Structure 1
Amino acid sequence: MSNASSTPMIKVLIVEDDPLISKRYQMILSKDEQIECVGRASSGYEGTMLAALHKPDIVLMDIELEDKQAGLRATEEILNYLPGVKVVILTVCETDDTVFRAFELGATNYLLKNMPADAILQAIKDAYYDLPALHSNIAGKITREFKRIKTTEDSLMHNFYILTTLTPTELEVLELLMQDYSRQEICKLRHVEPSTLKSQINSILKKFNKSSVQETLPVLRELHIPEILAQRKGKL
């Protein structure tokens, strides 16, 4: 009990028009002693009202409610009145360009609706504790590029979603590759055998669905991924 009293309760509001999904989230939240579900809303209007009433720490916000833009409008209204609230967007598809708009409005992160329970709870805690969401860092940067790189608009979301699936080791390796270090140099820097590095690079390529490093790096450079990763680690 002493642990519970020293840990702040995270108040979460669920805004989702599908009652089954909404109930699933409520059930997941109820299993974490640090999280309290303060309400469930099924429309953007109701979500805005309940946010004003309960002043939650986190809002799980479905993008498509009574219409395709309702979640965005509610996000904008809530953040205008309650700038301290963290909004985590719920979406069925990470390539949906409305997610970009949500980040522009100030959303903290996004979640795919079918994510497992532990990923949902982690996203809520990351948002609460201001842990840097790779999603929002990258979205903030590439939103400005969105129209310029219209031909690859599907790959914008897709590529940074893949980045979030890389392990810390794979991210380090990818950063060194993007800085044009040779494989020999990376082995020395990381104190690993060539066979280990080869399997790490193969794992990265498999996630990006590419056959070579040469095929992967230009796409990531065009999306300013090296700068974003450097910013994330406080190098810029």
Structure 2
Amino acid sequence: MSTPLIKVLIVEDDPLISKRYQMILSKDEQIECVGIASSGYEGTMLAALNKPDIILMDVELEDKQAGLRATSEILNYMPDIKIVMLTVCETDDTVFRAFELGASNYLLKNMPAGAILEAVKDAYYGRSSLHSNIAGKITREFKRIKTTEDSLLHNFYIFTQLTPTELEVLELLMKDYTRQEICELRHVEHSTLKSQINSILKKFNKKSVQEIVPVLRELHIPEILSQRKRKV
């Protein structure tokens, strides 16, 4: 039986560095790069869509804490993903924070290719392999923190759980169609549409469509739906 591929997502805002990591990963037949993100926000979205086994996460992305925020978001809702933090200079506070959030390892960006591949495989197989310059900083056990239910990733995760019918209804609502217009377009009764909308509200734990639509627009959900239609 063949060995399953280790799916890796790279989250790095420097295109030269991300390209280097992609080239390193491509040389190992056991590893598949499933995507490259250049911001913490994009990283959380690709993590939800591609469900990688391992994420190589830069600490400093759009700002100095973006990688840590993305790590917190991802592990809160997808705890099975293993995250290896990347940085050019480790500090005690940043290292502690990364492990507090649940990161599996912490590497300097200039580590040789072999060390990077080893870190990916060690994280995948659950082996402890902290580099010596990091291991000395770990002095206590950390608990993963919880993020609020209103986080962007939480809402994006719920969006991925909607049925095709609910997605279609939600897309029309985001385009500001009235309920009457939606009924006519979809050839359904008002009672049917009401039931579908109530199901959407229940999944989001909201009382009205007006509470959902602004959040999904912030997530760029209309654009994602349009891209999927073009691919089909």
TM range (shorter): 0.5 to 0.7
Alignment of 1:1-236 (within 5 A): 6-95=2-91, 97-134=93-130, 141-142=139-140
Distance 2:136 2:51 in 1: 28
Larger Rg: 1 or 2?
Answer: 2
Give structure 1 stretches of 5+ with no counterpart.
145-236
State the secondary structure of the residue aligned to 1:59.
Answer: strand
Cα distance, 1:137 vs structure 2: 6.8
- Residue-by-residue CA offset, 1:212-232 (whole Å, 9 max, x unaligned): xxxxxxxxxxxxxxxxxxxxx
Alignment CA distance shift 1:17-1:96 (3 Å): farther
What number of residue pairs does the alignment pair up? 140
State the secondary structure of the residue aligned to 2:7.
Answer: strand
Q: Please, what TM-score do these two structures have when normalized by structure 2?
A: 0.57
State the secondary structure of the residue aligned to 1:77.
Answer: helix
Alignment CA distance shift 1:86-1:138 (3 Å): farther
Q: Please, what TM-score do these two structures have when normalized by structure 1?
A: 0.56
State the one-letter code of the partner of 2:91.
Answer: T
Alignment CA distance shift 1:26-1:142 (3 Å): same
Alignment CA distance shift 1:139-1:133 (3 Å): farther
Cα distance, 1:95 vs structure 2: 3.0
Contact 1:57–1:86 (Cα < 8 Å) also in 2:
yes
C-alpha RMSD of the superposition: 1.9
Cα distance, 1:143 vs structure 2: 7.1
State the one-letter code of the partner of 1:141.
Answer: T
State the secondary structure of the residue aligned to 1:84.
Answer: coil
